[in-house]
Amino acid sequence: MTIEWRYRIEQNLGILSVAGHLGPDATHRFNGAVGWVLARGTGPVVVDLTELRGWSSEGQLAITDAARQLADSGRTLELAAIPADGSLVPNGDCPAIPVHSDLPTALAAHAPSGTGDEDAQEWRTEGWPA
Protein backbone atom coordinates (compact mmCIF):
# COMPACT_ATOMS: atom_id res chain seq x y z
CA MET A 1 0.00 0.00 0.00
CA THR A 2 1.33 3.44 -0.88
CA ILE A 3 0.41 7.08 -0.65
CA GLU A 4 -0.58 9.81 -3.04
CA TRP A 5 0.50 13.39 -2.44
CA ARG A 6 -0.15 16.94 -3.57
CA TYR A 7 2.07 19.95 -2.87
CA ARG A 8 0.82 23.52 -3.11
CA ILE A 9 2.57 26.80 -2.46
CA GLU A 10 0.30 29.65 -1.44
CA GLN A 11 1.72 32.96 -0.24
CA ASN A 12 5.05 31.43 0.85
CA LEU A 13 3.34 28.59 2.76
CA GLY A 14 3.83 25.05 1.51
CA ILE A 15 1.00 22.56 1.96
CA LEU A 16 1.92 18.90 1.46
CA SER A 17 -1.29 16.83 1.49
CA VAL A 18 -0.89 13.07 1.89
CA ALA A 19 -3.54 10.38 1.23
CA GLY A 20 -3.43 6.63 1.88
CA HIS A 21 -1.42 4.79 4.54
CA LEU A 22 2.06 6.02 5.48
CA GLY A 23 3.66 2.67 6.23
CA PRO A 24 6.98 1.01 5.41
CA ASP A 25 6.04 0.61 1.74
CA ALA A 26 5.19 4.31 1.39
CA THR A 27 8.09 6.02 3.14
CA HIS A 28 10.21 6.13 -0.01
CA ARG A 29 7.42 7.94 -1.86
CA PHE A 30 6.90 10.31 1.09
CA ASN A 31 10.64 11.05 1.16
CA GLY A 32 10.44 11.84 -2.56
CA ALA A 33 7.61 14.27 -1.88
CA VAL A 34 9.72 15.95 0.80
CA GLY A 35 12.54 16.29 -1.73
CA TRP A 36 10.06 17.96 -4.06
CA VAL A 37 9.04 20.32 -1.25
CA LEU A 38 12.65 21.20 -0.48
CA ALA A 39 13.37 21.99 -4.12
CA ARG A 40 10.29 24.15 -4.71
CA GLY A 41 9.65 26.33 -1.70
CA THR A 42 11.19 28.50 0.95
CA GLY A 43 8.64 28.98 3.73
CA PRO A 44 7.01 26.83 6.40
CA VAL A 45 5.43 23.52 5.38
CA VAL A 46 2.13 22.17 6.68
CA VAL A 47 1.75 18.43 6.15
CA ASP A 48 -2.00 17.91 5.74
CA LEU A 49 -2.93 14.41 6.90
CA THR A 50 -6.69 14.81 6.46
CA GLU A 51 -6.83 12.00 3.88
CA LEU A 52 -4.30 9.76 5.60
CA ARG A 53 -5.93 6.52 6.76
CA GLY A 54 -3.14 5.69 9.17
CA TRP A 55 0.60 5.53 9.73
CA SER A 56 3.11 3.08 11.09
CA SER A 57 6.14 3.77 13.25
CA GLU A 58 8.17 3.92 10.00
CA GLY A 59 5.76 6.52 8.68
CA GLN A 60 6.11 8.56 11.84
CA LEU A 61 9.90 8.35 11.53
CA ALA A 62 9.61 9.62 7.95
CA ILE A 63 7.70 12.65 9.29
CA THR A 64 10.36 13.41 11.91
CA ASP A 65 13.11 12.95 9.30
CA ALA A 66 11.27 15.45 7.09
CA ALA A 67 11.16 17.92 10.00
CA ARG A 68 14.94 17.58 10.36
CA GLN A 69 15.55 18.03 6.64
CA LEU A 70 13.36 21.11 6.52
CA ALA A 71 15.04 22.55 9.64
CA ASP A 72 18.44 22.04 7.99
CA SER A 73 17.13 24.26 5.18
CA GLY A 74 15.83 26.90 7.59
CA ARG A 75 12.21 25.80 7.21
CA THR A 76 9.66 24.46 9.66
CA LEU A 77 7.25 21.53 9.46
CA GLU A 78 3.78 21.49 11.01
CA LEU A 79 1.12 18.79 10.97
CA ALA A 80 -2.61 19.13 10.38
CA ALA A 81 -5.17 16.42 11.18
CA ILE A 82 -2.96 13.62 12.48
CA PRO A 83 -4.54 10.15 12.28
CA ALA A 84 -6.70 9.18 15.24
CA ASP A 85 -4.86 5.87 15.63
CA GLY A 86 -1.65 7.38 16.92
CA SER A 87 0.25 10.43 17.97
CA LEU A 88 3.61 11.57 16.77
CA VAL A 89 6.31 11.19 19.39
CA PRO A 90 9.56 12.58 17.97
CA ASN A 91 12.83 11.72 19.67
CA GLY A 92 14.97 14.34 21.39
CA ASP A 93 16.98 15.43 18.34
CA CYS A 94 13.91 16.39 16.30
CA PRO A 95 12.81 20.01 15.91
CA ALA A 96 9.48 20.95 17.48
CA ILE A 97 6.54 19.91 15.27
CA PRO A 98 3.40 21.95 15.90
CA VAL A 99 0.20 19.90 15.48
CA HIS A 100 -3.08 21.51 14.35
CA SER A 101 -6.47 19.83 14.63
CA ASP A 102 -7.20 20.37 10.92
CA LEU A 103 -5.96 22.20 7.83
CA PRO A 104 -8.12 25.34 8.24
CA THR A 105 -6.69 25.79 11.76
CA ALA A 106 -3.15 25.40 10.44
CA LEU A 107 -3.79 27.91 7.67
CA ALA A 108 -5.30 30.37 10.14
CA ALA A 109 -2.06 30.21 12.13
CA HIS A 110 -0.37 31.62 9.02
CA ALA A 111 -2.69 34.51 8.25
CA PRO A 112 -2.09 35.41 4.60
CA SER A 113 -0.70 38.83 3.88
CA GLY A 114 -1.81 38.92 0.23
CA THR A 115 -5.15 39.03 -1.50
CA GLY A 116 -5.48 35.52 -2.87
CA ASP A 117 -4.01 32.60 -4.78
CA GLU A 118 -2.66 34.57 -7.73
CA ASP A 119 0.82 33.10 -7.21
CA ALA A 120 -0.29 29.62 -6.12
CA GLN A 121 1.50 26.63 -7.62
CA GLU A 122 0.63 22.94 -7.36
CA TRP A 123 2.20 19.55 -8.08
CA ARG A 124 0.76 16.09 -7.37
CA THR A 125 1.10 12.39 -8.05
CA GLU A 126 -0.97 10.91 -10.86
CA GLY A 127 -3.31 9.17 -8.43
CA TRP A 128 -4.31 12.35 -6.58
CA PRO A 129 -7.95 13.24 -7.32
CA ALA A 130 -8.26 16.21 -9.67
- Quick: pLDDT tens for 67-117: 999 999 999 999 999 887 556 666 667 888 898 999 999 999 987 655 555
Q: What is the dihedral of CA 95, 99, 103, 109, to 10 degrees?
A: -80
Residue type, 20: G
pLDDT digits (tens, 9 = 90+) for 3-45: 999 999 887 899 999 999 999 999 999 999 999 999 988 899 9
Confidence label for 58 from pLDDT (cuts 50, 70 and 90): very high
- Does domain 3-113 fall under CATH 3.30.750.24? My reply is yes
What is d(CA 110, CA 125) in angstroms, rounded to the nearest whole number?
A: 26
